Every structure is written in C-alpha cells, then in structure tokens.
C-alpha cells in the first residue's frame, strides 16, 4: 500500500506530502525494516527515529522533522492501531457447529454461529448472530448473550449471566463464579452464604486471560459498556464498574465496590470492599485504597492518597537517613 494512501485512510498529514513510498507492513520501532511503518508516541523518543530501520513513522503533530517520511496525527497510538488493521488479517473461523460440541436442544443460536470442538451449551441459552466459541468453552443454563460474541478456549460462563453485544472473553475467563461469602455458625465454622445473583457484562466489554468476575450474592455484579479488564483481575460479588473504565493486570476489587466511569486502576491495585471510586479517577500501580475516592482524583500508595503529595513523601522517605543525621548533629550542637 502506498504511504500516501495509508495517510488518507488514517486521516494523517503526510510530511513530505508527495511521498509515493510503498509500505508492506507494520512493526515495532526496534525491529522494523525497509518497507515497514512504525510509530513514536512521545517526542522524547525522537533519537530512535534516526536509528530505526522503518521506512516511515507515525508521529505527533509536533514531532521534529527528519530524514524519514512522517505521518503526523494528534493521536499516534490510535493511528498505529488502525494502521495495523490495514495489514493484519485475523484468523478465519469456520462457521457451523463442530460434531463434538454438546448443545442442549432448548438452546438457541442465531445465524452464522461458529461453535468449536467440545463446546458445551446448557439449557435455555440464547446467543445472538455471529458468535464464535472456540474449543472447550462451557456455557451454563439460562445465559443470554448478544451479537458478535467471541469466547476463546476454556472460557466458563455460569448460570444466569447476561452479556451484551460485541463482548470478547479471552482464554480461561470465568464469568459468574460464586462470590466469596461465608458466615460463622454456632460452632465457629464457616457456613456458605448462597450466591444467588448474576453477572451482567454490557456491550463491548473485553475481559482478558484468566480473570474471574463473581456473581452477586443478591442482585447483580455489573461491568459497564466498553470497559477493558486485563489479565488475572478479580472482581468480587456485587461490584459495579462504570463504562469505559480500564482495570490493568492483577487488580482486585473486594465485594460491593463501586467504580465510576472512565476510571483507570493500574497494575496490582487493590480496592477494599464497599468503597466508591468516582468518575475519572486514576489509581497508580500497586496502590491500595481503603475508602471513597472523589471524582477526578489521582492517588498513589498504600493506603492511597493524593498522587502529588505521595511523590513528595517518597522523595522525603529516600532522604530520611540523611535528615536523621542532620537532626542528630544539630541536636548534639545544641
């Protein structure tokens, strides 16, 4: 594909404008070679532009000009993602139901379904058109799923779950497992509290590998529209996650946590139960929250507090030995 054509498809400004270079693929800046295009999202990495073997680069509008042709755009990372789509052909899945799949007679699958080997679909299940279920997916009874659903192998969806359109579940995801609810009986032993609720995934949710989203004890656990959940994340019973939020790897939400819209929880963030995290909050990696967080906040640490204050505190902490010596010396003089 000509570089000029790529620029038109991406809505990017080509610099120089008349470049007729042919591009055959997209690659990372470290490994790109002749005929490939790559991207640089931050002007700080400008020195890499001269070292890369890529024939052209997708860059920010303010990126300095160099020897290579540039596709200038306000959002280089998004343009890069769209450029990959121009060249990448995803695997084509055969439509139809594999002979080893077990589908209950009462289940209903709409047109153009692809059901792989050893898939099990329970009674009363309803799945919209264009679904793809790869081998060993298991769907319990009374599950309702929308259109364009994609489940990778070994996904398990428990009874009563509700899933919207365009949802993507990666390998090993478990939706609707029992919430962790126990009460002590008269003998002091743990007695299981029945988990009778369900999980609801709204449209265009993506849940990546080996995540667990627990069913509610009563009512529902709900994940909002277009929310993205990274590997090894655990969402406990009765949690609510607002739309367009992002939960990175190994995040853990304790029961009845409420997460607002457009929230980012970075890797290994832990949230105590019955907390409210407001819209637009950012919690940095490995932080632990123990109370409500107002909308628009950025917090760090464990327990988490204002990010700027946390940065000052960390700087002071590194200097504690020096400060202690100075205090001792001053005290000794006095």
**Residue-level pLDDT at 154:** 98
In this predicted structure, the answer to whether residue 33 has a pLDDT above a threshold of 90 is yes
**Residue-level pLDDT at 18:** 73
Question: Which of 88, 85, 47 has its CA nearest to residue 68?
Answer: 47
What is the residue extent of each domain of the chain? 3-87, 96-309
Across all residues in the chain, what is the average pLDDT? 94
Q: How far apart are CA 122 and CA 198, in angstroms?
A: 16
Q: What is the mean pLDDT of residues 282-310?
A: 92
Give the CA distances from residue 67 to residues 46, 49, 62, 222, in Å, rounded to whole numbers and listed in that order. Answer: 12, 9, 16, 51
In this predicted structure, the answer to whether residue 9 has a pLDDT above a threshold of 50 is yes
DSSP bridge partners of 300: 305
CATH number, domain 96-309, options 2.160.10.10, 2.60.40.420, 2.60.40.2140, 3.40.250.10 = 2.160.10.10
**Residue-level pLDDT at 332:** 67
Q: How far apart are CA 102 and CA 76, in angstroms?
A: 46
**Residue-level pLDDT at 98:** 98
Three-class SS string for 52-97? CCCCEEEEECCCCCCCCCEEEECCHHHHHHHHHHHHCCCCCCCCEE
In this predicted structure, the answer to whether residue 334 has a pLDDT above a threshold of 50 is no
Q: Active-site positions?
A: 237
Q: Does domain 3-87 have CATH number 3.40.50.300?
A: no
190-226 pLDDT, tens digit each: 999 999 999 999 999 999 999 999 999 999 999 999 9
Of the listed ranges 101-115, 218-232, 261-275, 317-331, the least confidently predicted one is 317-331
**Residue 206: Cβ within 10 Å count:** 18
Query: Is the CB of residue 39 less than 8 Å from the CB of residue 21?
Result: no
């Amino acid at each position: 594909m000509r570089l000029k054509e790529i620029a038109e498809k991406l809505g990017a400004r080509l610099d120089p404008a008349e470049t007729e270079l042919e591009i055959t693929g997209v690659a990372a800046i470290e490994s790109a070679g002749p005929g490939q295009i790559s991207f640089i999202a931050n002007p700080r990495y400008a020195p890499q532009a001269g070292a890369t073997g890529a024939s052209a680069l997708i860059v920010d509008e303010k990126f300095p000009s160099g020897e290579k042709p540039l596709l200038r755009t306000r959002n280089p990372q998004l343009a890069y993602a769209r450029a990959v789509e121009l060249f990448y052909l995803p695997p084509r899945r055969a439509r139809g139901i594999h002979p080893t799949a077990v589908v209950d007679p009462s289940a209903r699958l709409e047109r153009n379904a692809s059901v792989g080997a050893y898939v099990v679909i329970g009674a009363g299940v309803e799945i919209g058109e264009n679904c793809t279920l790869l081998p060993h997916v298991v769907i319990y009874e009374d599950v309702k799923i929308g259109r364009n659903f994609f489940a990778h192998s070994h996904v398990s969806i428990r009874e009563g779950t509700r899933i919207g359109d365009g949802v993507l579940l990666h390998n090993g995801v478990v939706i609707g497992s029992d919430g962790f609810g126990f009460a002590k009986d008269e003998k002091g032993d743990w007695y299981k509290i029945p988990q009778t609720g369900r999980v609801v995934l709204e449209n265009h949710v993506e849940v990546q590998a080996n995540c667990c989203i627990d069913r509610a004890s009563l009512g529902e656990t709900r994940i909002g529209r277009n929310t993205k959940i990274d590997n090894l994340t655990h969402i406990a019973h009765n949690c609510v996650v607002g739309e367009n939020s992002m939960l990175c790897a190994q995040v853990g939400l304790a029961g009845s946590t409420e997460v607002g819209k457009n929230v980012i929880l970075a890797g290994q963030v832990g949230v105590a139960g019955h907390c409210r995290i407001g819209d637009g909050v950012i919690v940095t990696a490995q932080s632990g929250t123990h109370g409500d967080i107002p909308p628009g906040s950025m917090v760090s640490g464990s327990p988490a507090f204002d990010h700027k204050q946390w940065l000052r505190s960390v700087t002071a902490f590194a200097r504690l030995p020096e400060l202690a010596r100075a205090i001792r010396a001053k005290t000794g003089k006095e």
